[in-house]
Every structure is written in C-alpha cells, then in structure tokens.
Chains A and B, each alone.
Chain A
Amino acid sequence: MADPNPARTFNDPEDPIIAATVPDHYSPLLDVDPPAGENSRRPLKGFLVILSGLLLVGLLMALIGKSGPSVSQKTDLTLNAPAESTNISAQFLEPVSRGPSAGVSEKSFRLHSGVRAPFPWSNTMLSWQRTGYHFQPEKNWMNDPNGPMFYGGWYHFFYQYNPDAAVWGNIVWGHAVSKDLIEWLHLPLAMVADHWYDTNGVWTGSATLLSDGQVIMLYTGATNESVQVQNLAYPADLSDPLLVDWVKYPGNPVLVPPPGIDDRDFRDPTTAWYGPDGKWRIAIGSKVNKTGISLVYDTEDFKKYELIEGVLHAVPGTGMWECVDLFPVSLKEDNGLDTSFNGPGVKHVLKASLDDDKNDYYAIGTYSLESGNWTPDNPNLDVGIGLRYDYGKFYASKTFYDQNKQRRILWGWIGETDGESADIKKGWASVQSIPRTVVFDKKTGTNILQWPVEEIKSLRKSCKKFDKLEVGPGSVVTLELEKATQMDITAEFEIDKEALKRIGESDMEYSCSTSGGSAQRGELGPFGLLLLADEGRCEQTPVYFYVAKGTDGQLKTFFCTDESRSSLANDVDKRIFGSTVPVIKGEKLSMRILVDHSIIESFAQGGRTCITSRVYPTKAIYGAAHLYLFNNATSANITASIQTWAMKSAYIRPYSSHAF
C-alpha cells in the first residue's frame, strides 16, 4: 500500500512543531477607545467618538481576515548515520531518528532542504552523472514525454525541451526516432513557439493515429496572455517516415478553456479514442477548487469540439490533474490494446499526474462509452489517492499503443533531484525512464505490471550468476568490484522458514519513507542490494525488501530505495522511497534493477511496485562503484540468487545531417 500522503502544507496549525515556535508577527491593535455610552453635549466630541468607533469596527473587520500562523525555521532534519566498518561481518547500523513527527512531510523536507550548503562538484563527478543508455538530449533541460507513437517503421518520441538552458523555460518540442526504443537518433525540433497561441510554451500533447493514415497531434499552447489552449498540428509530409516537419492548423486554437475552468487549469490533451456515433473523444485534465477532474470532448475532425456534459471522472482533494491518460488493458491476454478498444475482458486504467505532489497515480476501473464515465474498481484506491506508477522520481508519464509489437508502452519523465546550480554547471537536466510495457496484473487483479521493454536486453553483456547465496543476519557480500555503473540485475530472495514462523507482531506500521532506511533493522529485513557503493560504503544506495507482520497479523512486504547515504553531498535530495508490494503465496521475492549512473530503476515482483531514483555519489563513481548484497535483518537468514549483466551504452546521437 502506498505510503500515507505527506501533509500538503507546512504551516499546518495542527503541527506541534509549528504551533510551538510561532513568533508573533502582528503589529499590536491600535489602542482605540470604545464608543462612550452617554450622550455628549458637544457635536465635535460626538463626531470624534463615532469616527473612532467606526474605525475600530473597520480595523477589527480587516484583521479578522488574517489566518494561519507564521512559520519559523525548523531544525534541519538531516540523517547522520555513523560510517560503517569495511569488513564483511555483522553490522550494527544504528537506526536514525527521522524527527518527532510521524512522517517528515515531503513539502517540509523540500522547504528547508531547498536551500542547502552547495557541494564543490568537480567536473569529473558531474560528467559521470550522465546516463549511458537512458534517453536524454545532448544538453539542456527536458521534461514531459510528448506524442509517443510508432509510425513509418520508427518509434517517435517528442519531449518538452528548453533549447537555451538547463532549467525549465522557452519550452518547445524536441524529437527523436528509434527502431527499438533503446537507440535513438535526434532530429530537429518538431515545433517551436512561433504563434500567438503557443508563444509562451509549446506544452504537452499526444498523438492519435487515424485508420486512414493521418497523424493527429494535439498539444497545449500557452498563449501570449498565458491562457492554456489546445492546438492541432500534423506532419507536413506523411511520406517522410521520420516526420521531421510539422504544420500547425491555421485555425488554432481548436479548444479554449470552457466556462468555469480557469485559464491556467486546462492542459495535456490525450490520445483520442473512438467514441459512439463515429466521433472521437479526448480527455483534458483540470480542476475545480481542489477537486481534480478530467473533461471530455467529442470531435469528428479534430478541429471542432463539443464538451461532453459532466466529467470523465473527478476526485476531491487531489488538485490539478496533469497529463491525464486513459487506456484499456486486457484481463486475459498479455498484449497491449489499441486505445479505442473496449468490451468484455477489458478494464480501463485512468491515470493523472498530480501537480500538488508531483507524483503519477493510476487506478483500474471500468469505462462506459454510453455514460462517458469511468468508475474505479475500488473507490478507496481512486485516482490520486491510491496506487502510483512509481514510488520515486517519476512524473508526467504517458502511454501509447505500439501497434508494431502490440504493446502498451509507458514513458516517464525523470527529473533531477540535485541542485539547480549543478544542473547549470553540468549543462543538462532530466532523463526519460526506459520505456516500460504495461499489462494488467492477473494474479492480484488490483495492480498493473510495468517492465522495461525487451529490447533493453540487447545492451547486456558479460553475465555473472550467483546461485543460492546464503546471507546471515547482519552481513554484506561483495558481488561486483568492477565498475558497477551500468548494470541490469535480477535477484530472487527467500527468507528462511523458521524466521517467518518466529516473527512476532509489530505494533508499529512500517513505511519506507519514515523508516531509518536500510539501517533500521527488523526481524525479517531489510535485505537486498547495495548499488553505487564505494569500498568503504560511505556512499551507497540500498534497494531492499522489508517484511513485517502488520498490526492485523498479516505479513506485509515493503520494497524501498534508500537514498539517505547515496552521496556525501548535502545539496541533493536523499529520500527513502517505496511502498508495500503484494506478494502472492508461493512467490519468491524478486527484484530487477537497472543501474545507469545517476539513475536507478527498480522493479519488484515483476513490476508490481516500481521505484525510480536519482542519485549523485561523489566517491562511488566510475571504477569505484561496486555492488554488494546485504542482509541487515536481525533474525532471518536470506538465500539469494542473482544475475548481473554489465550494460553497453546505447547509441543516442543526432541523425546525420546529410540525409536531409
């Protein structure tokens, strides 16, 4: 189950820390005499009395409008774990206090960790951070994936891009093509901000492939007055498989914010699906007050639209829905489905990126063409309050139907979690996740499974196998001493049966983000792998399982990534991410990890729970990055079977210009 939502505001009057430290910033009330009861014989005195009275009333009324206590600086809650010994023996790593409150609010963490002592990053350290096989442009800033599709024998990928700097701004559409979703050729910018209706940003959009071969691209433009509108664009030449040039429909914008919707709450049109009466339907995310919603429009030609009454779905308290996505999944088959597919044996996944907490949430449910509504299977796990695609750094994701191999493929934007000054220094920011296939999890019926596309295996080389390694409580095993910076790892774990029987109930509910990470020992965990660890393990990024018996007597498995000691630098985020992962009876605990310099993508139980992490070690880089297996449980013996592959770098380069 997802970690409880962090508090949304840091100036929460309920928070004992805040309340106890509120300095009073009020200027004292003006000392004004209340109106005298008796009549005055002199009109001037009466006038003054009435005037003062009215002023007093006015002041009181004005001051009643105030709200909220002030916020003073909280003490810095940085984790300080003691350095570990270098020998491979029982390690008693002290659990670390996370502060008095039950959970460190993600927002408060960001508040006082937003401005931190800058680390003296060297060019060596910074250039190591660049990935070997994840998609990223040659330089500058990237964010949302846009309009992914398979056309003309190529996988097309577009993305939000700043051609001028390594920070967000001046957003245009970058473009790249691939034959296998792994090796990419950079093409010229597909669209720039050259019209009044997108001059303040050529923002996110999606592609729809029509059966007659047309390619429809709908995208959000930020107009010259910062109004969010939807625009239509299409390839200049459909016979060009690379779709280098794009044309914007002269009648743009095709959609403007409808009444009742704010100019700034109307963006990210979806791929269209076939609706009733031969019309197409698209969804656009928005909000009404704090309720996140998805509007739906009908269209026949993608130029004129009709707003459908009601909404596709709404969930109170979730805030603005960005990058809405609606797609069908098969309950029986392993292949993906075209976006328009519907019928028995199909459920629909509805997904939204929540602007408020920068996470992607999904829910499985039923979509009815007749009613135009989508209903969740489980309202307790509705969009925005239930499951997440990924419990780490992963946002603005978008799927597309790959008709080439009949797969539903997911792209996710993975931003940086280091300081912006480092991004400016290194000249780039953000990568994309390795594209993942998405299928319905038949075993649980409540999750989807995400898995790196098969084509990633083409980068594997030099396999190492470790079969049934026995790891006692409190030990570390060296797996890889050569540069473990580009790796594909699969691992299976078994906890000894005796320990499972022995385990007592815990009265405390474990949660990855509020725990002491890999240093907090339990009877049946944590155990897993230490990635990007230097020899002294001053820097390490554990990805691990933690099994505990909940307050209900049931065994629960948690899957976490612990960034708290990933780097000696203090100007990078160092959080502990994760969630519970459902484990079906008889299943071994399994994980797959893609390590690629400053990005680690982890998948548990075949992709039931995923965690993407950005880490910026200062020592555990190049040849000094090693891989270890660890078991920090107090009582359980773990048997681990592991396979590791070193990964070649992917060919991601500009398309040679003489072809044009």
Chain B
Amino acid sequence: MISSVFLLCVVGLSLTQIQFSSADLVKQTCRQTPNYDLCVQTLRSDPRSSHADVAGLAMVMVDMIKAKSIATLHKIGELLGTAPDPKTKATLRRCAQLYDNAVLKADIPSAMEALKTGNPKFAEQGANDAANEADSCERAFSGASPISSFNRSVSDLSRVASAIIRLLL
C-alpha cells in the first residue's frame, strides 16, 4: 500500500514539477519587468505561455498590446458615436490615428516579425513606441481623458513587453 502511495506521490510530484518549471520561466521573466503582477497575469491568461521560451513570452505580450489597442480603437469609435464636444472629438480622432497608423500598422507588425524571425533588436523600438503613442494620446486630453484605463493598459503592457524583449538582446 505504502509503495503504491509513494509511486502516486512521485508521479504527482513530477507533474507539478513540470508545471513549476514553465511557471518559473514566467515568474523569472516577469521579475525583470517594471510590472510583475501585470506581466504574470497577462502571460498566465494565454495558454501559449506554458511552453514558450522568452521570445515566445514576448510575442504573447505583444499580442496582448495588439488586442488592447484594438479594444481602444473600438472604444474611441463608440465615444465618437455619442457626439462629444469638438475638442474631445478632435483628440479622440487624433488618438485613433496614433493607435491605428502607428501602433497597429507599424509597431506591432514590426515587433512581431522581429521576434518571429529571431531579430529581437528590431522589436524593442516597436514596443517602446507603442507605450509612447498611448502616453501621447492620454496627454492630449489634458486630464479629462475618457479612455484613461485603455491608454494606461497599452502603456503598461508595452513597457513590460519592452523589458522582456530586452532580455533577448
């Protein structure tokens, strides 16, 4: 009885150890970013993270920036539909441009391609720039931003991505 229990324990333990090893890479990687909790939470929410190397984790993060940016664009569209005052309207339009032209059309594809093809040095700037664009958009509202949480999200995720990419250099 004891030996079979022992065997069960060993097998069970080995399985948990395997999980610990890949969770370790997530933790290890996230420890070297400016926002550990966000990093871990984001990576863990994606099943790819459990068998990814650092480059793979970076790609998961960049994908999340993409998702958040798309969500931000949708929100901007929604807000524009509520007929806001001219100033807000203009700023929303400007932000839409930043997210569309810069983040989604340039930064994200460039960073993804660089990570995919093993050229991480070209991914770093893309991630940094995504944060810049989000910050730029937020600043443009001069304190009265209706999309603060979205901008904040993209900015924070981008900084985390940038730090992960830095580990590849």
Please report the number of residue pairs spanning A and B whose Cβ atoms sit closer than 8 angstroms. Answer: 140
B6: chain A residues at CB < 8 Å are 50
Partner of B128, one of A67, A114, A263: A114
Does A264 count as interface, using CB distance less than 8 angstroms? Answer: yes
Partner of A73, one of B34, B121, B122, B124: B34
CA distance A170 to B125 in the complex (A): 16
CA distance A55 to B16 in the complex (A): 9
CB atoms of B136 and A169 under 8 A apart: no
CB atoms of B136 and A62 under 8 A apart: no
Within 8 A of B (CB), among A419-448: 419-421, 424
CB atoms of B102 and A66 under 8 A apart: no
CB atoms of A424 and B114 under 8 A apart: no
Does B45 count as interface, using CB distance less than 8 angstroms? Answer: no
CB atoms of A50 and B9 under 8 A apart: yes
CB atoms of A54 and B10 under 8 A apart: yes
Does A457 count as interface, using CB distance less than 8 angstroms? Answer: no
One of B65-73, B77-85, B144-152, B159-167 at the interface: B159-167
A200: chain B residues at CB < 8 Å are 113, 116-117
CB atoms of B121 and A169 under 8 A apart: no
CB atoms of A58 and B32 under 8 A apart: no
CA distance A226 to B120 in the complex (A): 13
Chain B interface size, as a band, is 35 or more
Does A620 count as interface, using CB distance less than 8 angstroms? Answer: no
Does A595 count as interface, using CB distance less than 8 angstroms? Answer: no
> What total of chain A residues lie within 8 Å of the partner, measured CB to CB?
53
CA distance A593 to B62 in the complex (A): 41
A62: chain B residues at CB < 8 Å are 17, 20-21, 24
CB atoms of A47 and B5 under 8 A apart: yes
Within 8 A of B (CB), among A1-58: 10-11, 25, 43, 46-47, 50-51, 54-55, 58
Does A397 count as interface, using CB distance less than 8 angstroms? Answer: no
Does B141 count as interface, using CB distance less than 8 angstroms? Answer: no
Partner of A51, one of B9, B28, B36, B126: B9
Residue in B closest to A58 when the chains form the complex, CB atoms: B13
CB atoms of B21 and A65 under 8 A apart: yes
CB atoms of A61 and B17 under 8 A apart: yes
CB atoms of A420 and B9 under 8 A apart: no
CA distance A355 to B118 in the complex (A): 11
Does B90 count as interface, using CB distance less than 8 angstroms? Answer: no
Quick one: given A50-B5, A62-B20, A114-B124, are A70 and B163 in contact (CB under 8 Å)?
A: no
CA distance A47 to B9 in the complex (A): 10
Within 8 A of B (CB), among A68-90: 68-73
Quick one: given A50-B9, A65-B24, A420-B125, are A11 and B133 in contact (CB under 8 Å)?
A: no
CB distance from A164 to the nearest CB of B (A): 9
Most chain B beta-carbon neighbours within 10 Å: one of A10, A65, A356: A65
CA distance A50 to B9 in the complex (A): 9
CB distance from B6 to the nearest CB of A (A): 7
Given contacts A54-B10, A358-B121, list 9 more A-B pairs with CB under 8 A.
A10-B166, A11-B32, A66-B24, A70-B31, A111-B162, A355-B121, A355-B169, A420-B126, A421-B129
